[in-house]
Amino acid sequence: MDMELTEAQQRLMETARRFLQNECPPKAVREEETTEAGFSPELWKKMAELGWLGLSLPEQYGGLGLGYVDLCILARELGRAICPSPFIPSVVLAAGAIAQAGSDKQKSEILPRIAGGQAVVAFAFQEESVFWDPRGLKTRATALDGGYSINGTKMFVEYANSADYFLVPARTSGEPPSAAGITIILVDARAPGIKLQPLSTMARDRQFRVTFEDVRAAATDVVGVIGEGWPALEKTIQSGAVTLSAYMVGASERIHEMAVEFAKQRVQYDRPIGSFQSIQHYLAQSITEIIGADTMTIYAAWSLDQGLP
């Protein structure tokens, strides 16, 4: 693959960096940590106006139809700003799964709202397990009155308090660790029986334990084929992991820049500490690892775009 950015990708990177430097400085990030939502709805709206929330969604549903490499270029800039937002859970994970497996009606109703910033969809996958695969899925969706009754607990659900919908993988049949019987269901966040418990994190981001107790969903809320949701989920999780990696690369690049600047300014023994060989070695090793991570991440995104493993 060609690792050089195209002209359009270069413009995307430069535009995103300028925008986030102005709209999402560290002071704003700290302020958002203290709010109930944990992110700025005003900034979210501006991101939608720039087309970012529909970057990888099909054009017919209000998106730009770009690929995972473009998505990672944007995510890298979001990471540089440590931008707090439901971008990965809602835009990459939930919208990605709906775009892959949803019905025409679901796509036409939900995807334009996500791309336009009018709807946030929380990705409620992980449970009280270390696994991000069928081994960890125990939540049940039992057929009832022409629809489903959902019971189970989901962990580390980001921005659940701001969600309009939950995308919930649940078992309509089968037992762990089988991938058979997993069904994806789109659940209205206002449905009776949903309970949210905030989880305290070191990063002060918004994560929740979400409990579903006899939560009802209609048969039309099933995303894809009943019992055959795992293939779409697997690709969705891969795309989320790659995008999150790009976000982390961006954050690491910015941290390295700050460390270099500090090494130039901090004086010890009447010399800037950046003049000491041990500090130089540490910074050189760090940027080497960051560049390697960036290369692997972009290659992984390109592989997804090409349909490769």
CA distance 284 to 256: 10
Q: What's the mean pLDDT in 280-298?
A: 97
Which pLDDT band, with edges at 50, 70 and 90, does 308 fall under? very high
Q: What's the mean pLDDT in 86-103?
A: 97
Residues in the chain: 309
Amino acid 3: pLDDT: 80
Q: What's the mean pLDDT in 246-267?
A: 97
Q: What's the mean pLDDT in 114-126?
A: 97
Can you spell out the DSSP letters for 192-216? TTEEEEEE--TT---EEEEEEEEEE
Per residue in 173-225, pLDDT (tens digit) is 999 999 999 999 999 999 999 999 999 988 888 999 999 999 999 999 999 99
Q: What's the mean pLDDT in 81-103?
A: 97
| Token couple for 72 | 């990672």
- Judging by DSSP bridges, how do beta strands 207-218 and 194-199 pair with one another? antiparallel
DSSP 8-state assignment for residue 219: G
Helix (H, G, I), strand (E, B) or coil at 9: helix
pTM of the entire predicted model: 0.94
